[in-house]
Amino acid sequence: MIDLKDLRENPDRYRNGVRDKCMDVDVDRLLALDEARRAILARQETARAEQNRLSKEIGPRIGQLKGKLKGAAGEEKDRLEIEIATLEAKPAQLKAEVAEEERHMGAIEPEWRALWLQVPQPPSNDVPKGKGSADNIEIRRWAPKSWDFSKSFVQNRGFMPRNHLELVKLHGLVDFERGVKMAGTRHYVLTGLGLRLHQAVLRYAVDFMADRRGFTPMGVPVLVKEECMVGTGFFPAGREQAYHIEESKRGSGHDLFLTGTGEVGLMGLHADEILAAEQLPLKYCTVSTCFRREAGAAGRDTAGLYRIHQFDKVEQVVVCKADDAESRAWHKQMIETVEMILQSMGLAYRLLQCCTGDLGVKNEDMIDIESWMPGRGEGGEFGETHSASRLNDFQCRRLNLRYRDESGKMRFAYALNNTVAASPRILIPLLEMHQQEDGSVLVPEVLRPYMGGIAKIG
């Protein structure tokens, strides 16, 4: 959610933001509604102020007269009744005025609010302009010593690779058929060592965050109220992506939504709170099951573990002071964390600076990390495995997550988030990169303690 004051003062910043993010939000309509709203507010408040003033002034008098009225009769009684009626007439008129303005307000407020929620966080100035993922810019790439990006898999390794579909079948790691039988397309069952490898990655990632990066691991709800989805910025834009539990249809309570990322639960933690400056930065991670409808992705990545409705993800978030330099420093650090983890697992990857057109509503900057998947496409492709975002105060504004700075001033905090490890997607490069000619797969050393010491699958 953006700052409306800033919008009034720098409308072009937001008009350009919408344009650069290739979105369709009528900023000028919002400005017009905002102006209308404030005019109504001014009239309404003036009437109310008068109402309050009058009430204080004549209220006790009315009380007095009504007291007298009880004991009065005849002409005296008529006189009192007229006096009371006269006194009561004016507040009644003001009341009608207030009600009238309230109707006006009711007519524009829903649209005003809906538009306000849609205006995106403008991208940072240094984010390159572009229309979509095709315009993202590669920053750098890394590969283990045994891998040369300029060569094919065969040239690197001396044999034809199997893709992850073949590998999981060969070793009985995933049962797609039964997953689909139970839950439909894009579902799967992790079986045997498949589940163990999956959990090994997740456990390794959580321990890495806690032990080596000082993040506090949290177990958070994955079933949350709508406010939580709106507050974290996933709604209204991403409403179609979330599974909706319609508890309200059962009579009572509120509807719930399955979260598509642990970010929701982690950021929702401190919604509506006022933190002390010393409490910042908050550094949280979680491992949670993520649910995504993948609406609009029909026909894309239909096979295998790449795009599925349910997966598990270790996510990291940082809530820091409202300071651009600090936020950038955390962004770097969070990306560095991921690089350390990927490198320790012997995976090749590249960093992409996402262009303006590829940013969502809530981020001002985003770096995607794509891991090399030898079995993807023709002769291997990079596939997104991580995404690191800087959100400025957009998310905390929506969540109403504030802190008191050193001077006692209330400020909205800045938030950042990044994937640590999302599985089973990460199993794709893991299996494909570490496969041997005979189809067996070497388990990276860092994962073996979490696999009961197993060093090789198959």
Partner RNA sequence: GGUGGGGUGGCAGAGCGGUUGAAUGUACCGGUCUUGAAAACCGGCAGACCCGUCAGGGUCUCGAGGGUUCGAAUCCCUCCCCCACCGCCA
Q: Which residues bind RNA (CB under 7 A)?
A: 4-5, 38, 41-42, 44-46, 48-49, 51-56, 58-60, 62-63, 66, 88, 91-92, 95, 252-254, 274, 410
Q: Select 91 or 439, whichever has its Cβ closest to RNA.
A: 91
Query: C-beta of 41: minimal distance to RNA in Å?
Result: 5
Cα Rg for the chain, rounded, in angstroms? 29
Tell me whether residue 407 is one of the annotated catalytic residues: no
What letter represents residue 88's amino acid? E
Q: Which of 37, 196, 292, 397 is catalytic?
A: 292
Tell me whether residue 384 is one of the annotated catalytic residues: yes
Query: C-beta of 268: minimal distance to RNA in Å?
Result: 15
**Rounded to whole angstroms, what are the CA distances from 203 to 17, 89, 240, 297?**
39, 72, 31, 30
Q: Which of 157, 213, 307, 404 is catalytic?
A: 307
Tell me whether residue 292 is one of the annotated catalytic residues: yes
Distance, in Å, from the CA atom of 290 to the CA atom of 422, rounded to the nearest integer, reads: 9
Q: Select 62 or 245, whichever has its Cβ closest to RNA.
A: 62
Tell me whether residue 307 is one of the annotated catalytic residues: yes
Distance, in Å, from the CA atom of 263 to the CA atom of 421, rounded to the nearest integer, reads: 13
Residue 268: name the closest of 314, 312, 220, 236 by CA: 220
Q: Select 6 or 211, whichever has its Cβ closest to RNA.
A: 6
Query: C-beta of 235: minimal distance to RNA in Å?
Result: 19
**Hey, what are 165's tokens?**
């579909």
Distance, in Å, from the CA atom of 257 to the CA atom of 228, rounded to the nearest integer, reads: 9
CB atoms within 10 A of CB 384: 15
Distance, in Å, from the CA atom of 432 to the CA atom of 345, rounded to the nearest integer, reads: 12
Distance, in Å, from the CA atom of 120 to the CA atom of 398, rounded to the nearest integer, reads: 12
The answer to whether residues 316 and 265 touch, using CB atoms and an 8 Å cutoff, is no
Angle at 56 between CA 52 and CA 58, to 5 degrees: 115
Residue 386: name the closest of 309, 319, 334, 450 by CA: 334
Distance, in Å, from the CA atom of 103 to the CA atom of 96, rounded to the nearest integer, reads: 11
**Hey, what are 402's tokens?**
């504030």
In 282-392, beta strands by DSSP E: 282-291, 310-320, 349-353, 365-373, 381-390
Query: C-beta of 63: minimal distance to RNA in Å?
Result: 3
Edge-to-edge strands, sheet with 274-276: 274-276, 402-404, 410-412
**Rounded to whole angstroms, what are the CA distances from 80 to 13, 59, 89, 456?**
63, 15, 14, 99
Q: Which residues of 188-221 are buried (b: 16+ CB within 10 A; e: fewer)?
A: bbbbebbebbbbbbbbbbbebbeeebebeebebb
Q: Select 5 or 145, whichever has its Cβ closest to RNA.
A: 5
Maximal C-alpha separation, the chain:
115
Token look-up 């005296």 returns 76
Q: Is the peptide bond before 281 cis (omega within 30 degrees of 0)?
A: yes
3-state secondary structure of 184: coil
Q: Select 41 or 455, whichever has its Cβ closest to RNA.
A: 41
Q: Select 67 or 449, whichever has its Cβ closest to RNA.
A: 67
Query: C-beta of 321: minimal distance to RNA in Å?
Result: 16
Query: C-beta of 62: minimal distance to RNA in Å?
Result: 5
Tell me whether residue 423 is one of the annotated catalytic residues: no
Query: C-beta of 160: minimal distance to RNA in Å?
Result: 46
Q: Select 69 or 454, whichever has its Cβ closest to RNA.
A: 69
Q: Select 63 or 132, whichever has its Cβ closest to RNA.
A: 63
CB atoms within 10 A of CB 162: 19
Q: Which residues of 230-269 are buried (b: 16+ CB within 10 A; e: fewer)?
A: bbbbbbebbeebbeebeeeeeeeeeebbbbbbbbbbbbbb
Query: C-beta of 9: minimal distance to RNA in Å?
Result: 11
Q: Select 70 or 140, whichever has its Cβ closest to RNA.
A: 70
Q: Which residues are catalytic?
A: 292, 307, 384, 387, 425
